[in-house]
A and B are shown apart, each in its own frame.
Chain A
Amino acid sequence: SQPLAGHQAAELQSKVVPSKQILHSDNMEMEPETMETKSVTDYFSKLHMGSLVYSCTSKRKSK
């Protein structure tokens, strides 16, 4: 059998497997996205708290 000679070993590298396959680079860890948030309650507390709460509760009472 034929041993692997040092000079042969250093000679070539695989051209078939792209470097990406052995690189770490395709596993970069990104930070999460930030989404903008809206809320129906924000809207109440800021704008119409008094009147809407009043109209809601009075509507319920009337039912």
Chain B
Amino acid sequence: RMEASCLELALEGERLCKAGDCRAGVSFFEAAVQVGTEDLRTLSAIYSQLGNAYFYLHEYAKALEYHHHDLTLARTIGDLLGEAKASGNLGNTLKVLGNFEEAIVCCQRHLDISRELNDKVGEARALYNLGNVYHSKGKNVASAGTHDPGELPDDVKSALQKAANYYEENLTIVTELSDRAAQGRAFGNLGNTHYLLGNFRSAVLAHEQRLLIAKEFGDRSAERRAYSNLGNAYIFLGEFETASEYYKRTLQLARQLKDRAVEAQACYSLGNTYTLLQDYEKAIDYHLKHLVIAQELNDKIGEGRACWSLGNAYTALGNHDQAIHFAERHLEISREVGDRSGELTARLNLSDLHMVLGLSYSTNTSMMSESHVVENSLNGTRPRVGRRHSMENMELMKLTPEKVQNWN
């Protein structure tokens, strides 16, 4: 009986991965490695594809292992183009794992070799990867704090500025190469980088380009991403009506693409936007839609957010019974998921509502007596009635158009 050769197994692995079945592809590639081959270029291609398959399966430790093998092998056999590719893949993997400094070294190596080989396509791709690493690095540091876009420490700003520069450099080359798909990707991420930097007008311009290219390709996922990102940017420009239009298109496409999680996010964004527009009926409508999907997807954190938002919106409308219902639900969920700050907020909201409705009503419920304990423990720091209207005073509202213009 003839046994399958390493090559045959690898070819089947390639076929399966191309067909989108990475899990099965991995089995064949691993079998191919088991059989082994003396042809180091073939082995390098197998390691590389194993690394990519694991990357797409989100098994990054395995991806790292195989891209590392590939890099070592490419260097051993003196395959410069192979080394460039392995470096790029290793860089992308290290980025996802949060090892930004090593990721930069690898992506830079990809760039250097591509330039040495006068490989324009490789050069452009390395620049895009470098942009992505610096973007992730900036976002990672930024998310450790509680900054809004545009209010950034210097190290974050410098990483994001570098990302923007790499995307711009990439765009110059891919425009020369007339590679529209690559332009689309660069515009999208450039737009998001400008957004984080607080350059909201520039973000809009980039995402508009991204949208145009997505439509050219009939790429509806990319189109949906562009609408969502445009909505986000218009929120910070203080143009809530425009933002709501873009979020509605996001919602429409999310429904067409049958992506419930994205649909929920679009509803949530619309709920917040209508809160900013002080149209609380519509806000409630969308937050309820978000709530239903969050429950369906068993997304407890989303459900808690929905309840918190609904509590605020009902309070704004003076519907205190509904407000209390959702504040109580928010408290329950916060306790369930161990969200301490959410729990505290819910208790404070409840105690405010209880004050609004009068003591006789609220002391009947056990929830209320618990919130008295919290009040006492807070030692007089309990905020006054009126904090309930936090949605009207969302930090977003500080961004008056005048202030925004100074940033651009």
Q: Spell out A's residues near B (CB within 8 Å).
A: 1-5, 8-43, 47, 56, 60, 63
Contact = CB atoms under 8 A, between A and B. Distances in A.
Interface stretch (B292-300, B365-373, B389-397, B400-408): B389-397
Contacts of B44: 38
A28 B358 contact: no
Which of B82, B85, B361, B386 has the most A CB atoms < 10 Å from its CB? B386
Given A2-B358, A12-B393, A38-B49, A22 B309 contact: yes
Contact of A10 (B196, B225, B309, B393): B393
Nearest to A56: B7
Nearest to B49: A38
Q: A10, A23, A40: which has the most chain B beta carbons within 10 Å?
A: A40
Contacts of B272: 22, 24
B390 A17 contact: yes
- Secondary structure at the A interface, as helix, strand, loop or mixed, is loop
A25 B184 contact: no
A14 B45 contact: no
Contacts of A63: 2
Instruction: Give the 8 A-B residue pairs with the shortest CB-CB distance, closest first.
Output: A8-B386, A36-B85, A13-B393, A29-B225, A1-B358, A14-B390, A38-B45, A38-B48
Contact of B386 (A10, A34, A41): A10
A39 to B, nearest CB: 6
24 contacts: A1-B356, A1-B357, A1-B361, A2-B385, A4-B356, A12-B386, A13-B394, A14-B348, A16-B348, A18-B146, A20-B143, A22-B272, A23-B396, A25-B148, A27-B228, A30-B192, A31-B225, A32-B185, A33-B92, A37-B48, A37-B49, A40-B10, A47-B41, A63-B2
B132 interface: yes
A34 B129 contact: yes
A8 B305 contact: no
Nearest to A32: B185
Given A8-B386, A9-B386, A31-B188, A43 B393 contact: no
A42 B270 CA distance: 48
Contacts, number: 168
B308 A33 contact: no
B69 to A, nearest CB: 12
How large, as a class, is the contact surface on chain B?
Answer: 35 or more
Contact of B269 (A16, A27, A37): A27
Question: Among A2, A29, A47, which residue has the most Cβ atoms of chain B within 10 A?
Answer: A29
Interface of B: 2, 7, 10-11, 14, 41-42, 44-46, 48-49, 52, 55, 70, 82, 84-86, 88-89, 92, 110, 122, 125, 128-129, 132, 135, 143, 146, 148-149, 184-186, 188-189, 192, 195-196, 222, 224-225, 228-229, 231-232, 235, 265, 269, 272, 305, 308-309, 315, 318, 341-342, 344-345, 348, 355-358, 361, 383-396
A38 B82 contact: yes
Contacts of B344: 16
B385 A19 contact: no
Nearest to A24: B232
Contacts of B195: 25, 28
Interface centre among A23, A35, A36, A60 (most CB of B within 10 A): A36
A40 to B, nearest CB: 5
A14 to B, nearest CB: 4
A41 to B, nearest CB: 7
Given A1-B356, A42-B45, 19 more contacts: A2-B355, A2-B385, A3-B356, A14-B348, A16-B341, A16-B345, A17-B308, A24-B232, A25-B196, A30-B192, A36-B85, A36-B89, A37-B48, A37-B49, A38-B82, A40-B7, A41-B11, A43-B42, A47-B41
A24 B149 CA distance: 10
Given A18-B146, A28-B232, A41-B11, A35 B356 contact: no
A13 B398 CA distance: 12
